[in-house]
């Protein structure tokens, strides 16, 4: 901390911090379509990317934006797009293509009130389940939530790293509050940032089998044009990338898609505990609500309640081991969310311990306040 | 009901869309961040329209990392129109301070207030009502002393559109001058009205 404090503090918006994170992670292609409250990501990247030899394209819509980043990534360039709810809906089809073709890419969804055009300038957390299951079919996906400008930077780097390492699309869920809040941040120097690149084939091109299984379940990925035969399709395919209807090939393929993420579970599962050591009640939160909860648990402790907080950065794959430990430890768990209750269902799903789990929801476009969470904790405990 | 530590100083800028409310808050936040002494967090809320509607921006200043980014107990409310004064006045803490643009606010709910015709000053001193926000910012900086005027001026010069630096600077300085005429010691200690003698 003291080391960090010696570095320069700057004022950054969450959206600007996403840009810094993306560039630090090696993102060199962005295609997007402007939308409140995500537009600043496009705005800043449109200036920054060309200066460092990257490409920025404003596409005709979000369907094309998602298509463009899948294409750029297949050509070997780290790619990202950013949008909000309405655009995220349009991206779902091509997002599924990225899942089945195992194309690394990062999609930032800055959540605003929905459904449809909804509340463009208000924060919400209504897209959690869409991030998980928005595209059709059984598919693994990684969903990360951010709560501060610093996390916008760090988690965007992490998103690229996970995406490259596991060849899976990664969704970053931000929200209007995080995206538009400007706050003092000290960014780590570039040489302290871990950047992971996808594994590329090291064998001669004629030996390359693009979807061949290995111990990690993640085949090396050639860039289109590098001289390796690499057939890409949205159909379920065999190890050579060509469509198959053979049951054992289908089964092996879909299983591997899930296995590669499951095997990396411990690395992918990112959570943070606050005052949990002696806690008997806990708040489980993500996104901007974490910030309210941080204050709420201190307020509750001032009132004699041993409250703690579990922050979920990884929402999917759902970090069930950590959540289960909190459920085992506490007699009461509160899940505050700016939606009608999406992660609270996940918490209840893994609650095998008879723990009292309650949700607390706001759907009026306002951030949940520390007071509300504290009062809910105190009144529920009687 | 929750007990709060005096670990934060909270300012809210409010008015209607187009008055430069958010710009004023951003300039203040950036200047404070640049001084490197405190943590600062600036949030905003506004409607989907470009002009009109309500506009609100908040700046929270703290020695420590800031958790909840928005106002909890408001120390200073700047109201640039009557509607925002009416809406947000109840959020002021008892020892808070109300600052209004008396050009546009005529019903003032407390005597613990500083009333300055920001818009009028902007027109007279800087030539455009567009810079009323900077006049108000000058007053806020003088009254709160959260940042030195000098530090703020250099941020302001870098932040405003090219060609408007002098106009904005003039506006900012006239805001400071206007606020200097007030003595906070002379104001009642709280914003809650005195019991009236019948």
A280 in the same domain as A261: no
Backbone angles phi, psi at A105, to 5 degrees: -170, 160
A213 in the same domain as A116: no
What superfamily in CATH does domain B8-183 come from? Pyruvate-ferredoxin oxidoreductase, PFOR, domain III (3.40.920.10)
How is residue A20 annotated by DSSP?
Answer: H
pLDDT of residue A5: 44
- Tell me what the pLDDT averaged over chain B comes to: 92
Select from B1, B37, B68, B87 the residue whose CB has the most chain A CBs within 10 Å, as the one to mutate to test that interface: B68
Lateral strand order in the sheet of A271-274: A271-274, A307-312, A281-285, A332-337, A356-361
Question: Per-residue pLDDT tens for B26-83?
Answer: 999 999 999 988 999 999 987 776 667 789 999 999 999 999 999 999 999 999 999 9
A209 in the same domain as A304: no
Please give, rounded to a whole number of angstroms, the shortest distance from the CA of B181 to a CA of chain A. Answer: 32
Domain that holds residue A235: 205-266
Contact (Cβ atoms closer than 8 angstroms) between residue A37 and residue A112: yes
Kindly compute the dihedral angle of the four CA atoms of residues A244, A245, A250, A251, in this order, to the nearest 10 degrees: -150
Secondary structure element (H or E) that encloses residue B51, with its range: none
Question: Taking CB atoms and an 8 Å limit, are A370 and B36 in contact across chains?
Answer: no
R_g over Cα of chain A: 21
Please give, rounded to a whole number of angstroms, the shortest distance from the CA of B114 to a CA of chain A. Answer: 28
pLDDT of residue B53: 79
Weakly modelled stretches of chain A, pLDDT under 70: 1-7
Backbone angles phi, psi at A252, to 5 degrees: -65, -40
Is A352 domain-assigned? yes
Question: Taking CB atoms and an 8 Å limit, are B42 and A295 in contact across chains?
Answer: no
Question: Taking CB atoms and an 8 Å limit, are A182 and B45 in contact across chains?
Answer: no
> What CA–CA distance (Å, rounded) separates A376 from B31?
38
Choose among A10, A292, A302: nearest Cβ to B68. A292
Question: A122 to chain B: which residues are within 8 Å by CB?
Answer: 45
pLDDT of residue A250: 97
A372 in the same domain as A285: yes
Domains held by chain A: number: 3
Q: Which of A116, A70, A67, A68 is nearest to A89 (CA)?
A: A116
**Which residues fall within 8 angstroms of residue A320, CB to CB, at 6 or more apart?**
A350
What is the CATH number for A7? 3.40.50.970
Contact (Cβ atoms closer than 8 angstroms) between residue A233 and residue A241: yes
A253 in the same domain as A295: no
Q: Which of B164, B190, B77, B48 is nearest to A119 (CA)?
A: B48
Question: Taking CB atoms and an 8 Å limit, are B48 and A36 in contact across chains?
Answer: yes
> What CA–CA distance (Å, rounded) separates B77 from B143?
12
A293 in the same domain as A253: no
Chain A, chain B: beta-carbon pairs less than 8 Å apart = 77
A327 in the same domain as A288: yes
Select from B43, B57, B61 the residue whose CB has the most chain A CBs within 10 Å, as the one to mutate to test that interface: B43
> What CA–CA distance (Å, rounded) separates B148 from B169?
14
Is A199 domain-assigned? no
How, if at all, do strands A281-285 and A307-312 pair? parallel
DSSP string, A231-263: ---SS-B-TTS-B---HHHHHHHHHHHHHHHHH
Nearest CA in chain B to A12: B30
Is A322 domain-assigned? yes
Question: Per-residue pLDDT tens for A104-124?
Answer: 999 999 999 999 999 999 999
| Pair of tokens at residue A93 | 């089809």
Which residues of chain B have a Cβ shorter than 8 Å from any chain A Cβ? 1-4, 26, 29-30, 33-34, 36, 38-48, 66-70, 72
Is the predicted pLDDT of residue B198 greater than 70, yes or no?
no
pLDDT of residue B6: 60
Mean pLDDT over B176-187 rounds to 96
Global pTM?
0.94
A283 in the same domain as A376: yes
Question: Taking CB atoms and an 8 Å limit, are A291 and B36 in contact across chains?
Answer: no
Question: B39 to chain A: which residues are within 8 Å by CB?
Answer: 183-184
DSSP string, A87-147: HHHHHHHHHHHHHHHT--EEEEEEEEE-STT-EEEEE--TTHHHHHHSSSSS---EEEE--
pLDDT of residue B77: 98
Question: Taking CB atoms and an 8 Å limit, are B30 and A11 in contact across chains?
Answer: yes
Q: Which of these ranges, B129-138, B148-157, B184-193, has the smallest mean pLDDT?
A: B184-193
A154 in the same domain as A55: yes
Domain-terminating residue out of A231, A266, A301 = A266
Count of CB atoms situated within 10 Å of the CB of A106: 30
Question: A303 to chain B: which residues are within 8 Å by CB?
Answer: 2-3
Question: Per-residue pLDDT tens for A152-179?
Answer: 999 999 999 999 999 999 999 999 999 9
- Tell me what the pLDDT averaged over chain A comes to: 96
Angle at which helices B21-35 and B149-159 cross, to 10°: 120
Question: B66 to chain A: which residues are within 8 Å by CB?
Answer: 183, 291
Mean pLDDT over B110-131 rounds to 96
Nearest CA in chain B to A371: B2
Contact (Cβ atoms closer than 8 angstroms) between residue A267 and residue A257: no
A147 in the same domain as A179: yes
What is the CATH number for A314? 3.40.50.920
R_g over Cα of chain B: 16
Question: B67 to chain A: which residues are within 8 Å by CB?
Answer: 291-292, 294-295, 370
Question: Taking CB atoms and an 8 Å limit, are B33 and A292 in contact across chains?
Answer: no
> What CA–CA distance (Å, rounded) separates A155 from A307?
26
A178 in the same domain as A87: yes
Confidence of residue B122 (pLDDT cuts 50, 70, 90): very high
Is the predicted pLDDT of residue B2 greater than 70, yes or no?
no
């Amino acid at each position: 901390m003291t080391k960090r404090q010696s570095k320069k503090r700057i004022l950054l918006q969450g959206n600007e911090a996403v840009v810094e994170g993306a560039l630090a992670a090696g993102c060199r292609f962005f295609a997007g379509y402007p939308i409140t409250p995500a537009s600043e990501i496009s705005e800043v990247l449109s200036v920054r990317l060309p200066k460092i030899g990257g490409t920025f394209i404003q596409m005709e819509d979000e369907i094309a934006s998602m298509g463009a980043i899948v294409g750029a990534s297949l050509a070997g360039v780290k790619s990202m797009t950013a949008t909000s709810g309405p655009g995220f809906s349009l991206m779902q089809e091509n997002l599924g293509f990225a899942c089945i073709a195992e194309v690394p890419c990062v999609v930032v969804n800055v959540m605003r009130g929905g459904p449809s055009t909804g509340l463009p300038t208000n924060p919400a957390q209504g897209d959690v389940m869409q991030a998980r299951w928005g595209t059709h079919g059984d598919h693994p996906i990684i969903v990360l939530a951010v709560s501060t400008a610093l996390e916008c930077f760090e988690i965007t780097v992490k998103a690229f790293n996970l995406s490259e390492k596991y060849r899976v699309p990664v969704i970053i869920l931000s929200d209007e509050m995080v995206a538009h809040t400007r706050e003092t941040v000290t960014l780590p120097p570039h040489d302290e940032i871990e950047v992971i690149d996808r594994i590329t084939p090291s064998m001669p091109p004629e030996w390359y089998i693009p979807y061949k299984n290995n111990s990690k379940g993640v085949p090396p990925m050639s860039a289109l044009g590098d001289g390796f035969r690499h057939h890409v399709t949205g159909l379920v395919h065999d190890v050579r990338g060509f469509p198959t209807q053979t049951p054992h090939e289908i089964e092996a393929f879909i299983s591997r898609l899930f296995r590669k993420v499951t095997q990396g579970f411990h690395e992918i599962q990112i959570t943070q505990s606050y005052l949990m050591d002696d806690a008997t009640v806990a708040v489980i939160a993500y996104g901007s609500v974490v910030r309210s909860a941080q204050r709420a648990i201190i307020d509750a402790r001032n009132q004699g309640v041993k409250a703690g907080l579990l922050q979920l950065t990884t929402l999917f794959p759902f970090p069930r081991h950590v959540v289960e430990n909190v459920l085992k430890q506490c007699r009461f768990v509160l899940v505050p969310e700016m939606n009608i209750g999406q992660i609270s269902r996940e918490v209840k799903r893994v609650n095998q311990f008879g723990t009292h789990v309650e949700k607390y929801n706001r759907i009026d476009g306002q951030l949940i306040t520390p007071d509300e969470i504290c009062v809910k904790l105190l009144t529920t405990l009687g | 009901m929750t007990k709060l530590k005096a670990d934060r100083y909270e300012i809210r800028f409010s008015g209607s869309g187009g008055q430069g409310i958010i710009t004023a808050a951003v300039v203040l936040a950036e200047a404070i961040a640049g001084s490197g002494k405190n943590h600062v967090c600036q949030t905003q809320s506004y409607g989907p329209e470009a002009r009109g509607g309500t506009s609100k921006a908040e700046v929270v200043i703290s020695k420590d990392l800031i958790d909840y980014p928005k106002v909890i107990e408001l120390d200073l409310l700047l109201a640039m129109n009557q509607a925002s004064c009416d809406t947000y006045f109840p959020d002021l803490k008892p020892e808070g301070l109300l600052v209004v643009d008396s050009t546009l606010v005529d019903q003032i709910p407390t005597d613990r207030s500083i009333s300055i015709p920001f818009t009028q000053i902007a027109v007279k001193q800087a030539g455009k009502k567009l810079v009323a926000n900077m006049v108000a910012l000058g007053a806020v900086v003088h009254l709160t002393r959260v940042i030195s005027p000098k530090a703020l001026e250099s941020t302001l010069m870098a932040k405003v559109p090219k060609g408007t630096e002098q106009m904005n600077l003039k506006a900012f300085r006239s805001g400071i001058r206007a606020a200097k005429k007030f003595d906070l010691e002379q104001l009642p200690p709280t914003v809650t009205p005195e019991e009236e003698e019948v």
